[in-house]
Amino acid sequence: MRAVLVVNPQATSTTAARRDVLAHALADVVKLEVVQTRYRGHAADAARAAVADDIDLVIAHGGDGTVNEVVNGMLSEPRPEHRMPRLGVVPGGSANVFARALGLPKDPIEATHRLLQAIAADSSRLVGLGKANDRWFTFNAGVGWDADVVAEVEQLRGRGRDVTPALYARTALSCYFRMSRQAPQITVRIGDEPPTTGLHTAFVANTDPWTYLGSRPMRMNPDTTFDTGLGVFSLSDMNAYVVLRYIAQMLRGRAKPHGRNALRRADVGYIHVACQEPLRLQVDGDNLGERSVIEFVSVPDALRVAV
C-alpha cells in the first residue's frame, strides 16, 4: 500500500517528536511519503497530487483546517469511488471535531495506533459531506456570528496569540455584542419550503456535535450524522436571554435546541442562504471571506475514511 502523510507543522498540538513517531510507525506497514505543508493550500495541492498518482491512502495530520484542505484536494476532480484513495486522519489541532465525530482518539499516538489497526484489517466507512458553493466541508459551516469568530481568531493567531477555548469564548462574546445591535440580514430557504426571513445567523451541520468547548460538545443538531443530510439552525432573536437559553440547551447532552426564536431542521439535502449585505462564511473553522449567496448541498457517501 502506498500512502502520503500530509503534516501541518504549525498545528496546535503537533510536535516534531510526535511526527517522527507516527511517520516511523506508518512506514513499517506502508510505502510512505511525508509532505510538510509550507503555505495555505499546500495540503490541498499534496492531496490532489496523491489522487493523480493513484495513491491508496492520504493521511491528514493536523487540525480541522488541514483535514478540510486534504478533503478538498482529494475531491477537486470527479473520480470513480473505486479509484479514490482512502482518507486517514491523525488529529493534531485544538478541536479536531471531524476526527472526534468519527470516534477517533484525540491523542495523535493513539489515533495512529487506531489507523494502523484499520490498515491491517482493511477497515473503512463511507461518510457524507457538505458543500458550501464549491467548497467541501466535513463537519460544519456557518454564516454570520460563528464565521466572524473564526475570522477574528485567525487574526489573533496571526499576531501570535495561543488558540484556546477561552480565546474562542471571549471572541464569540465580542462578536455577539457587535452583531446583536445589527438588523437581521439573512434569509434561509430549506429544500422546497418557503424562505424564512429576518434571521441573524445560519449554522449548517454535517454531523454532531457542532463543535467542542474544550471537552464539552456543543450539540446544535443531535440527529445529524455522516449518514444523513445536513442540519441547519438559525436565530431570529439575538436577545441575550434567548441566546444563553439556546447555548444551555446545546451543552445539555443530546437535547435538541428548540424555541420559537429558532429555525432548526435536520436531514435536509439543500439549503439556500441569502444575505442582504455580504457576510462572512466559514467551513470547518476556515474563514472563506464574505459572500452574499451560499448554496449548501448534502453529498451522501462522498468519501471513504479508514477507521
**Three-class SS of residue 242?**
helix
* Any domain includes 130: no
**152 and 296 fall within a common domain:** yes
R_g over Cα of the chain = 19
Backbone angles phi, psi at 62, to 5 degrees: 170, -160
Residues 266 and 269: their CA atoms lie apart, in Å, by: 9
Sequence-separated (6 or more) residues with CB below 8 Å from residue 181: none
Over residues 109-141, the pLDDT tens digits come to 999 999 999 999 999 999 999 999 999 999 999
Eight-state DSSP code of residue 194:
P
Range of 209's domain?
137-301
Residues 293 and 278: their CA atoms lie apart, in Å, by: 8
Omega prior to 209 cis, within 30 of 0: yes
Domain's final residue, options 65, 91, 122: 122
pLDDT band for 254, please (50, 70, 90 cuts): low
**16 and 150 fall within a common domain:** no
Lowest mean pLDDT among 38-47, 211-220, 284-293: 211-220
Residues 226 and 127: their CA atoms lie apart, in Å, by: 5
Place of cell 429558532: 262
Sequence-separated (6 or more) residues with CB below 8 Å from residue 156: 163, 167, 171
Whichever domain contains 238, its CATH number is: 2.60.200.40
**102 and 235 fall within a common domain:** no
Can you tell me the mean pLDDT for 230-235? 96
**202 and 106 fall within a common domain:** no
Over residues 15-47, the pLDDT tens digits come to 788 888 899 999 999 999 999 999 999 999 999
Considering 17-31, 87-101, 283-297, the range whose residues carry the highest mean pLDDT is 283-297
**What length does the chain have?**
307
Whichever domain contains 94, its CATH number is: 3.40.50.10330
Residues 208 and 124: their CA atoms lie apart, in Å, by: 20
